[in-house]
Structure 1
Amino acid sequence: MSPVWRITREEWRWLQRDRVAVLGLALLLLLTAVAIVHAAEQRDALTAERARRQSQVDHAFENAPDRHPHRMVHYGHFVFRPLNPLAAFDPGVDAQTGHTLFLEGHRQNSANFSEMRQSSLLLRFGQPTPAFVLQVLAPLLLVFAGHATLAREREAGTLRQLLAQGVRPHQIVAGKLLALGGLAAMALLPALLALGWMAAATPAPAVLVATLATGYALWLALWVLATVCVSAWLRQARSALVALLAVWAVGVVLLPRLAAELATAQLPLPTRMETDIAIARELAALGDSHNADDPYFAAFRARLLAQHGVARVQDLPQNYKGLVAMEGERLTSELFVRHADAGFALQQAQLDHVDRLAPLSPVLALRRLSMAAAGTDLAAYRSFLEQGERHRYALVQSLNRLQAEKLTLAGDRSSRDNRIGAEHWHDLAVFHFTPAPPAQALRAATPAATVLLLWLAGLGAVLAWATRRIGRVAA
């Protein structure tokens, strides 16, 4: 048996006798299993609930009675954000963002009813998901189990004996890495099984499942290297434990929260009230479609009359009020989209600011990779809002077109003849959400994966340096 495997076997025997390692692994596996079951059940329940609610509101819209099309514009409609199949593994920003969007004319509403606002404050400290367990708790297991791998040998004098017997320093370090890597693999195994089940039981793309698995494998490998490196560098196991706990507290807990606070402070988002005021001012400057003397719509009326060669709006081939409604909706929708794009650009700038701190805290890179692969990042939320807005615009303009084509101007002004049949509402409200292609998620995850790989390379170089000095320190 080679010295590397002999050292690995002995290290495993020591870990089996270590109550902290055994109990820690058992608790982590139990917590991961509970998190997987809880997250899967919650996702299935939410998916079924949203599908049921969507069916109800679709049925209510399609079965509305005969009425004026513009009343249907203000009656509005609801769409519910479908959950990504991998959201059970990493919910990402889903807890902070809303999932219900009310569609109506002349307004672009934001999504409401986020889980964060409807849950207790405990939700702010992290949900019991597989991603949370692996990101925050699994490194602690590796720290407590592996901080003494080399420092213990040095304190007991066995490191000098191994070197005297002809065992090379790199063989000692390789054996310790394999032993601790095996523990990391056991900690990762339930999550890998859960991802495999999600890939088989849901339409989750296999490439994104593999990306998640690879990202978390890199994350735990990083902590294996860091733990052995610190243990090789410091003389006492106690000092190694304190140093590793400090690294975990700063890198995993403190820096991510501090990075978010710094980004918010340097690039603050406008409040909802400020945005509404700005939009109201620009809407007033655009023109009032309900005011016959408004300059913009007076010019619009003149263009329509000249285009059709008539002198009165009553002589137009379509209902003038419906045409005005369509033009007004076009103007306001362009304004809404412009403000929404500006808001998302500012949020993206905040994320870019946080990403620049990823070299200081690789957990930031891991979270970006994990949310991108799971389809629960800001880009996925933005895609839902943008598709919802396009659906809202198409729905409202379809109703406005019905007003223009199915009602005459005289009939529109009559309280008896200003209704059309309910069959016109059918198939207008059905919303089909299209998730982003896997290639887009991979592009978003690539920079984060690069950061993790660079961290691994850097730690590998530091460990190689520490390995070369093991013999001199032991002597």
Structure 2
Amino acid sequence: MLRNRVALAAGLLTFALLVTAAWVSHEQRETLASTRAHYQALVDDQFDAQPDRHPHRMVHYGHFVFRPLPALAFFDPGVDAFTGNMLFVEGHRQNSTVFAEARQSSLLLRFGQLTPAFVLQTLVPLLLLFLGFASVARERERGNLRLMLAQGVAPASLLLGKWLALAGAAAMVALPAVLVLALGVAVGTASSLAVTTLVLVYGLYLAVWVGLAVLVSTWAGSSRNALLLLVGLWIASVMMLPRTAPVLAQAGNPLPTRIEMDIAVHRDALAVGDSHNPDDPYYADFKRKVLERHGVARIEDLPVNYAGLVSAEGERLTSEIYDRHAAHGFAIERAQSAQVAGFAWLSPVIAVRQASMALAGTDLVAYQGFLVEAERYRYRLIQELNRMHAEEVEYENDRNHRISHENWKTLPEFHPEPSSGGDPTRAVRAFAVLAMWSVLLAGLLAWRGRRLGVL
């Protein structure tokens, strides 16, 4: 390979590309994290700086929360570019995240961002195929294979040597990614367990492509046929199947649109009760229970503001409905993801992507976790404002009453810590798929080695 100038140039170019990807994506991650932290602090200050208001005005004024970037998002941004990074929280509804980079960028982003994960998943396997397609086929074409076997070279040793040489090239090319991950562990921003598992997963993934290149090279009648077959397998495995699988998953598990969800939530909320209708059966019963609990006959005699209690009860009911529909949507998304993961038995790149996102903390599970955490914050914030409405606003002067702006500073803030890495248990299935591919290729190479001995 060192004597082959094309192979050497391609290897050096891929090495340089991986270095560039690691540096660029790390700088981008730091910039995005800094920007989100800046705007989170800005909207926090703007919220606290609101003048004296009625608490229910603050319920509708709302607040903004930003999704913190995991420490390993520079390595594999996962679904972050497609899901949005900012969420507007307000009373009576759950909003969707906005400002997804994929919706604001060119279509090139959908092909893949220049990140270490993209280079390792897509470009390095192609390089390995070009380096290894002639490893055995060219020996056969030149007549060296028969000569080596006649001189007593064991076929298994020959194939192992070819595999080790190509694996060594893969390790050298992937070295920048390993070093930058190790640096993250050294400075304390990345989880050592997540990084170690990530390195093992990618090592296993590249070993699969090395084994595939050597195996096809032993099988093909010529080096040209080996190259054509390997490039065809790369196109099918890396380019076509990972883009076809999500389409099939969406068709098999259709996800309701945002409009459909809002209509369903509104219908379910009306079925429970309408807080604006004084004759509504549910809220009439709620009023009776409140009066009985406080031992009074009229809402004017309550020690608290009844309007605030109604707002709190309405928020509780609508939040339960939203949570139920959100859980249903989460289940559909997880079913889609599981169906895509099922195609990993046909394409190792799907397996490594699933594991990579899970270990980087940028997969669907991590995103749904952010939505759940943001909703808990939203509910806590709105109910605290409803409590102020009930306890600090006079019922007789409800519409015109204002409370001190100092109250806004006592409300909770949303500042979750960025993840240092995902849960390795979420990568077990993908790891098992890659291990299966490795065992299968090893068995085929061993069988093919015995066949070489009779040539």
Asked whether the two chains share a fold, i.e. TM above 0.5, the reply is: yes
The Cα offsets for residues 251-295 of structure 1, whole Å up to 9 and x where unpaired, read as: 111111111111111111111211111112112222121222221
The 5 Å alignment of 1:39-438 reads 39-413=25-399, 415=400, 418-433=401-416
Aligned to 1:462: 444
1:10 matched residue in structure 2: none
Contact 1:289 1:297 in 2 (8 A): yes
Q: Residues 256 and 232 (structure 1 numbering): CA distance in 2 closer, same or farther, change over 3 Å?
A: same
Task: Name the CA distance, whole Å, in 2 between partners of 1:170 and 1:123.
Answer: 44
Paired amino acid for 1:170: A
Deviation readout 1:153-196 (Å, 9 max, x if unpaired): 11111111111111111111111111111101111101101111
Q: Give the match's secondary structure for 1:78.
A: strand
Quote the Cα distance in structure 1 between the aligned partners of 2:127 and 2:392.
69
Scaled by the length of structure 2, what TM-score is found? 0.98
Contact 2:72 2:420 in 1 (8 A): no
Residue pair 1:154, 1:160 contacting (<8 A) in 2 also = yes
Aligned partners of 1:209 and 1:171: how far apart in 2? 33
1:444 pairs with 409, 414, 426, which one?
426
Secondary structure of 2:64's counterpart equals: strand
Q: Distance in 1 between the 2:138 and 2:8 partners?
A: 18
CA distance in structure 2 between the partners assigned to 1:357 and 1:303 by the alignment: 55
The question of whether the paired residues in 2 share the 8 Å contact of 1:151 and 1:231 is answered with yes
Question: Offset of 1:472 from its aligned partner?
Answer: 1.2
Local SS of the residue matching 2:121: helix
The superposition leaves residues 306-360 of structure 1 with CA deviations (integer Å, 9 ceiling, x where unpaired) of 1222110111121101111100000000011111100010010111111111111
* Alpha-carbon distance between aligned partners in 2 of 1:317 and 1:273, rounded to the nearest angstrom: 41
2: CA distance between counterparts of 1:129 and 1:170?
A: 37
Write out per-residue CA displacement over residues 195-240 of structure 1, whole angstroms, 9 at most, x where no aligned residue.
1122223522111111111111111111111111111122311111
Partner secondary structure for residue 454 of structure 2: helix
Q: Secondary structure at the match of 1:51?
A: helix
* Helix, strand or coil at the partner of 2:65: strand
Q: Is the 8 A contact 1:380 1:435 kept in 2?
A: no
Matched position secondary structure for 2:313? helix
Q: How many residues get paired?
A: 455
Please give the alpha-carbon distance, in whole angstroms, between the structure 2 residues aligned to 1:420 and 1:248.
Answer: 65
* Deviation digits for residues 63-115 of structure 1 (CA, Å, limit 9, x no counterpart): 11111111111110000001001000000001101110101000100111100
Q: Distance in 1 between matches of 2:142 and 2:8?
A: 22
- Structure 1 gap segments, 5+ residues each: 1-14
Paired residue secondary structure (1:249) = helix
Q: Which ranges in structure 2 are unaligned for 5 or more consecutive residues?
A: none
Percent identical among aligned pairs is: 54
Asked if 2 retains the 8 angstrom alpha-carbon contact of 1:384 and 1:433, the reply is no
Q: Is the contact between residue 148 and residue 240 of structure 1 (CA under 8 Å) also seen in structure 2?
A: yes
